[in-house]
Every structure is written in C-alpha cells, then in structure tokens.
Amino acid sequence: MSKYGITFIGNMCYDEVTPFGGKPITAPGSAVLCGAMVTARIGVKTAAVVKMSLDEEPITQPMRDLGVDVFIIPADCTTYSRVIHESENVDERKITLVRTAGLIRVEDVPELDSQIVHLGGVSDSEFNMELIDGLKARGYSLSTDMQSFVRQITPVTHEINFGDVKDKKEIISKMDKVKLDVVEAKVLTGTDDLEKAAVIVESWGCPEIVITHSKGVLARVGGVNYYEKFSNSSVIGRTGRGDTTFAAYLSHRLRYGAAESLKFAAALVSIKMEKYGPFQGTLEDVYTRIKEKHM
C-alpha cells in the first residue's frame, strides 16, 4: 500500500475575497490547502508539496495539525490572490494575482509513494508540460484542475483572464481524472452544457471528468454521466468550491464508485460553502448531510 493516498502539488497562497455587497476577508488559501484539509479530515493520508516563501511557513500549520506531511519548495514570495464577486452569480468573479511564487519544476518535487498526485494551481504560472511529463514518467496516477491552465495572468495588470489552452488535449490525455467548473468548461470546449462539455473532454483522452457549477456537480466516468445537486444554505464559502469538491471526490474514489463518491463530494462541499475558509467538518457531518439532503 502507498504511504500517501493523495499528494497535492501547487502554490500556497493568500486569498483576499470580497463577497457581493460585502467587505474583503483575507486568509490563507490555495487549491492545495482546500484539498488537503478535506482529505486529511476524512482520514486519507495526505502529502502537500507547496511553493511559497519560507518566511510564511506558519500558514501551513493547519494542514500539519491534521497530519498532512508538508514539503516546501522555497520561493521569493507567497502567491496572493484577490477575488471580487461583482454580482450575485457566484460563478462570476474578478480575480487578480497580485504576486505569484511561480513555476514548479519536476526536480523540485520529492519522489513520494502516493496513489494519486493532484496538480492544483491558482493560475497558469505554476505547471508546464515538462512537470507533467516528469511526474507521469514516475508512474503516478495524475489528476488536475484545469483552472491551473485556463486562468491566465495579464502581464501588466496581473488580472486573471480565462483563455483557451494550446496544449489542452495533451494535458488532459495524460490525466486519469480532470476537474473543471462551468466557466472553464465553456472556455475549453465552447459549451456550458455540462454533459456536452464532459463528452468533449472525454474525447481528448481522459476517462474521468468532474465539472462543477453553482447548482451541483457532474461526473462522467466510463461514458456514463452522474449528477448531484448541492444542498448548501449559503454561499459565503464559495471560494474553494471546486478544489473542495474534487478533493472529496478523489479521496472517496480510492475505495468507492463514481456515483457514491459524487454524492459524498456534493454533501461535503455543501457544508464547506456555508462557512468561510477550508472545510472544517467531520466525516460524521458529511454522512449526516447525505442522509438529510442527498438520499
């Protein structure tokens, strides 16, 4: 058995989030933090390989407290993301990357014994094909969030624009699982119909696709579509929705089927969205939510 169920790779960051009609809130974030906090809380042995400033290492402590093994790639700064919700539509966000810790090279990544290695980036500044090929050569089962490539930094303003990805088919073909949200799906496939987008992404060579939108989450596995609605009563914790959903799905898929894993992920992220920050619940909370809202 592998030492780790899941290893997350990406930049650690700070998220400054302004909800629609609300005031800014700043806290440690990142796809890695949101993901690792989920998998560790539900009992999966987890590693996190993060690029960040060593001066700000204390912000990794919440992961360490949950038993996550954290490996730091030193950088000149820690990534800082500014997110503004300008309307009630939680899928519409203005994102600015104030600073970034930058590209992760394959030689920066320790060779860990892990069932799954997940590339979870804040923007297109973190991963390239050399890293993907290098990790694939190590024999890992790879997954990624396509936000890591679709979110592209404008050089002068540092605003994030969502753009098509030249190497998207090659990237996706090397993944065992891939995650998108509805905005990223439309950018990459030309459609915001979740089922149609999933079929297109599947045709590029990935057997398992997860797509989130404001109402719920779809998974396409082995040519079959599954869908589960969210049950959240608030969207205050919308930032990190996709990272949390996919981490919950990946961890459950280590032992369970797609339909059950999707239900588990939808229930868990619904709890997360009702509070700001990473998922803070328990496995019991998730199963209670499933019984109450997802049967």
CB 234 within 8 A of CB 139: no
φ, ψ for residue 181, nearest 5 deg: -110, 175
pTM of the prediction? 0.93
Instruction: Give the CA radius of gyration of the chain.
Output: 17
Q: In the chain, count H helices and then E strands.
A: 10, 15
Query: Higher model confidence: residue 21 or residue 264?
Result: 264
CB 209 within 8 A of CB 182: no
What are the structural domains of the chain? Answer: 4-293 (3.40.1190.20)
Using a pLDDT cut of 90, give the percent of the chain over it. Answer: 85
pLDDT (average), residues 217-225: 97
Residue 238's pLDDT is what? 82
Residue 287 and residue 284: Cα distance in Å, rounded? Answer: 5
Residue 71's pLDDT is what? 98
Amino acid at residue number 110: P
Count of Cβ atoms closer than 10 Å to residue 66 Cβ: 15
pLDDT above 80: residue 91: no
Candidates 57, 49, 59; CA nearest to 4 is 49
Q: Which residues does 190 contact at the CB level (< 8 Å), separation at least 6?
A: 200
165-220 residue pLDDT tens? 999 999 999 999 999 999 999 999 999 999 999 999 999 999 999 999 999 999 99
Q: Which residue has the tokens 């969030």?
A: 145
* Confidence band of 288 (pLDDT split at 50, 70, 90): very high
DSSP string, 229-254: E---S--TT-TTHHHHHHHHHHHHHT
φ, ψ for residue 46, nearest 5 deg: -130, 140
Residue 220 and residue 114: Cα distance in Å, rounded? Answer: 24
Candidates 95, 87, 224, 235; CA nearest to 152 is 95
pLDDT (average), residues 17-34: 88
Average pLDDT, the chain: 95
pLDDT above 80: residue 63: yes
Q: Residue 141: beta bridge partners?
A: 116
Rounded to the nearest 10°, the torsion over CA 247, 268, 61, 67 is: -70
* Confidence band of 45 (pLDDT split at 50, 70, 90): very high
* Confidence band of 128 (pLDDT split at 50, 70, 90): very high
pLDDT above 80: residue 46: yes
* Confidence band of 22 (pLDDT split at 50, 70, 90): confident
134-164 residue pLDDT tens? 999 999 999 999 999 999 999 889 999 999 9
